[in-house]
């Protein structure tokens, strides 16, 4: 295992998810249902599935598209969504 890649990925995902809306959903579900362990298992299962899909999709895309282009597209999409939210379009 490449520990530098692992550590960088862990840090990026950890801090991106720390205050994400999905965390608020988990808090709300645990409070509403009173079943924190069940909510935790559901959240972990969802994160695993989403991560598997995104990693394999990224690996597939990298076979056909230069990684720099994927990064530029992702950054552009992030900026576009932010601008639309700022303008209250979405």
Each residue's pLDDT tens digit, 21-68: 888 899 999 999 999 999 999 999 999 999 999 999 989 998 999 989
pLDDT at 22 (0 to 100): 85
CB 53 within 8 A of CB 45: no
Residue 56, domain member (yes or no): yes
Predicted TM-score (pTM) of this structure: 0.69
For 31, the domain range is: 3-65
Q: How confident is the model at residue 1 (pLDDT cuts 50, 70, 90)?
A: confident
- Quote the number of domains for the chain: 1
Residue 89, domain member (yes or no): no
Rounded Cα distance between 24 and 20, Å, is 7
């Amino acid at each position: 295992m490449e520990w530098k890649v692992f550590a960088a990925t862990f840090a990026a995902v950890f801090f991106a998810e720390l205050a994400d809306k999905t965390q608020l959903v988990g808090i709300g579900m645990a409070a509403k249902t009173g079943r924190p362990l069940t909510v935790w298992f559901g959240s972990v299962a969802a994160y695993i599935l989403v991560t598997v899909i995104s990693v394999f999709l990224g690996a597939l895309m990298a076979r056909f598209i230069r990684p720099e282009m994927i990064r530029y597209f992702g950054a552009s999409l992030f900026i576009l969504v932010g601008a639309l939210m700022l303008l209250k379009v979405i």
